[in-house]
A and B are shown apart, each in its own frame.
Chain A
Amino acid sequence: MSTAILFPLLLFGTLIGDPRSNRTPPANLSATGLYSDITTKTIASTNLMFSPQYPLWTDGAKKKRWIYLPAKKSIDAKRVDDWVFPVGTKVWKEFSFGKRIETRYLEKTGKKVWTYATYAWNENDTDAVLVDETGSPNHVEIAPGVRHNLPGVIDCKACHEGQGRDVVLGFNALQLSPDRDPNAPHAEQFTSEMVNLKNLVDQKLLIHLPKRFVNDPPVVAANSPRERTVLGYLSANCGGCHNSTDPLSTLGMYLKRSVDITPEAAKLELETVIGHKSKYQIPELEVDRSYRILPGDPSRSTMIFRMATRNPYRQMPPLGSKIVDQEAVDLITKWIQEDLSNGNGEKQLTHH
């Protein structure tokens, strides 16, 4: 047993690079085509700025995002929830905590091949350097005693890769809908320089999107404005993994909101969460008392427990965050307490 133990112990805390990663990205961010002049931070005119209406939390980082599509190429929206991007697509996401810290980069280099990279900004803010594919743990302090990790390739893939779909998240029909949720937590102000669903269709950068989604922009179907916000937040922050099509579908917990789904199907998907017994047990409770969400009772709702902890072995999301998104925890707590039941807790379930 000892030989099986000692070597891994020495390697603890180190992410090993994925031996199957794709071609090496440029050594500097300035060589990826994001800027026409990096000294003035002038974005190349070929790159389109966008802002998903339900952003990922990432410990309160301020973010900016851009996408580049090769000339005369379009995104195919035949599958409304899983767009297919043309080879040559590039996507950037800049993270700031008071100052620019990192820019993440995705490039589609083959029909089903994406290259992932993280660039760390230098002290003088003049350029960003490619980070080793194992990432840079504890790269910079973002709050007292809290240090931000720059993700390695495996971390990027953990969230972005799914089952037979392209890997871009945050650039889809719901996230780019012109009918934006005014209550979405941490959302950036939409500005005229950003693209949305309508712009993309008008400029023929997005093709095959059924006209009804242009005439009637997608909105999360919900019973109240608060529920709309909650379901939108969960779709963006949890639905990347917890959905019905990707490898974790085996868990049977569907939080990704499709824009093309019947109310009946949407209700069935919600029932995989609301009133559903949780295999994961909240430690303070007796066995079999935990639910994924128990209407009326956040203290027995695993979702709240795991969102509200940063115990690294229990927290949700499991990576990409070291600070609790308290605004979201409060929002979802209120939804469970006030929208889902009148405090009837478990009794409510028989009528759900």
Chain B
Amino acid sequence: MRQTKTIAFLLVGSCICLGVISSTARSQGKPNPKLVKRGQYLVNAIGCGDCHTPMKMGSKGPEPDMSRMLSGHPQNVSLTTPPASGGPWIGAFNETGTAFAGPWGISYTRNLTPDKETGLGDWTEQNFIETIRTGKRMGKGRELLPPMPYESFRNMTDEDLKSIFAYLRTIPVVKNKVSEPIPPAGQPGSSK
């Protein structure tokens, strides 16, 4: 009888411990599955990967390279000077679809994977939401550049943006250090 009581005590204790661990894991940032699912839906529906996932050439033309999903402009792709714009043409993009040239200079899509060194790994949900809401990096830094359509995305609800961020925490880490943008000719730091 005494042995049965001891086993029951240990079982209850273990369950409590597991409950605490589980609860702690969630409070420390374990993503909410519902948010993650909705975030995945939104990321696919609004086309984040159109610019943030590098393209590769497939049998039917360019297709997303899912081994580098949402990891931004590949660090090992070196680019020549973009073609000069003129007439009705104001911009160009490269073969991976991750570098864009226009009146703003050259912009490169960022690494959205949770890599701490090169991606969004050390960002908070608040940093992410403020970036989209303000069009400034982390809400306080330099302005986001075309073609990032934050003017549209900023109209999403907090819940939507939280969902997207939750999903981005779960995607595979890709270490990829994206280049800094280059200002247009005539400005400090420009390529010409």
In this assembly, does A71 line the interface, its C-beta being within 8 Å of a C-beta of chain B?
no
Q: Is the CB of B47 within 8 A of A4?
A: yes
Q: Is A279 an interface residue (CB 8 A)?
A: yes
B residues near A287, Cβ cutoff 8 Å: 177
Cβ–Cβ contact B151 & A11, under 8 A: yes
The interface-forming segment of A122-130, A311-319, A343-351 is A311-319
Is A261 an interface residue when CB atoms closer than 8 A count as contact? no
Chain B 153-192 interface 0/1 with A at a Cβ cutoff of 8 Å (1 = within): 0110000000000000000000001001111000111100
Number of inter-chain CB pairs below 8 Å: 107
Question: Which of A94-102, A154-162, A196-204 is near enough to bind chain B?
Answer: A154-162
Interface of chain A, main secondary structure: loop
Question: Taking the complex as formed, is A186 at the interface, i.e. its CB lies under 8 A from any CB of chain B?
Answer: no
Determine if A15 and B135 form an interchain contact, defined as CB atoms under 8 angstroms apart: yes
Closest beta carbon of chain A to B100's beta carbon, Å: 7
**Residue on B nearest A159 in the bound complex, by CB:** B140
In the bound complex, CA of A145 to CA of B188 (Å): 12
Determine chain B's interface SS by DSSP, over half rule: loop
**Contacting pair A313 B180 (CB below 8 A):** yes
A314–B182 alpha-carbon span in the complex (Å): 9
B95 within 8 A of A: no
Chain B interfacial residues counted at CB < 8 A = 48
CA distance A318 to B51 in the complex (A): 25
Question: B102–A9 contact, CB under 8 A?
Answer: yes
A247 near B124 with CB under 8 A, answer yes
Q: Is the CB of A247 within 8 A of B148?
A: no
A134 to chain B, nearest CB (A): 11
Shortest Cβ distance from residue B53 to the other chain A in the assembled complex, whole angstroms: 11
A5, A157, A158, A313: the one contacting B100 at CB < 8 Å is A5
Chain B contacts for A319, CB-based, 8 A: 136, 142
B141 at the binding interface (Cβ < 8 Å) = yes
Within 8 A of B (CB), among A1-20: 1, 4-9, 11-13, 15-16, 18-19
> Are A313 and B182 in contact, CB atoms less than 8 angstroms apart?
yes
Residue of A with least CB distance to B149 = A8
- With contact pairs A283-B180, A314-B180 given, residues A5 and B138 touching in the complex (Cβ less than 8 Å): no
Q: Taking the complex as formed, is B126 at the interface, i.e. its CB lies under 8 A from any CB of chain A? A: yes
Contacts A12-B103, A154-B134, A154-B136; is A312 near B146 (CB within 8 Å)?
no
Q: Which of B103, B133, B149, B190 is packed against the most chain A CB atoms within 10 Å? A: B149
Given contacts A5-B146, A12-B146, contact A250 B136 (CB under 8 A): no
Answer whether residue A334 sits at the interface, using C-beta atoms and an 8 A cutoff. no
A312 surroundings in chain B (CB, below 8 A): 142, 183, 187-189
> Is A309's CB under 8 angstroms from B138's CB?
no
Q: Are B146 and A8 in contact (CB under 8 A)?
A: yes
Whether B149 contacts A158 by the Cβ 8 Å rule is no
- What A residues does B150 contact at CB under 8 A? 8
How far, in angstroms, from A283 to B183 measured CA to CA in the complex?
14
Q: Shortest distance in angstroms between B178's beta carbon and chain A's nearest beta carbon?
A: 12
Question: Is B31 an interface residue, CB under 8 A from the partner?
Answer: no
Residues of B contacting A241 in the complex (Cβ-Cβ under 8 angstroms): 140
Alpha-carbon gap, A9 to B151, bound state (A): 11
Whether A9 contacts B147 by the Cβ 8 Å rule is yes
**B103–A158 CB distance below 8 A:** no
Per-residue contact bits, chain B 117-130, to A (CB 8 Å; 1 contact, 0 not): 10000111011001
Residue ID in chain B nearest A145 by CB atoms: B186
User: Residue among A9, A241, A310, A312 with the most chain B CB within 10 A?
Assistant: A312
Residues of B within 8 A of A5 (CB): 51, 91, 93, 100, 146-147
CB distance from A257 to the nearest CB of B (A): 19
B-binding residues in A (CB < 8 A): 1, 4-9, 11-13, 15-16, 18-19, 154, 157-159, 241, 247-248, 250-251, 279, 283, 287, 309-315, 318-319
17 residue pairs of the A-B complex, CB under 8 angstroms, read A5-B93, A7-B149, A8-B148, A8-B152, A9-B102, A12-B104, A16-B154, A157-B134, A158-B140, A247-B127, A247-B140, A251-B122, A283-B180, A312-B142, A312-B187, A314-B180, A318-B140
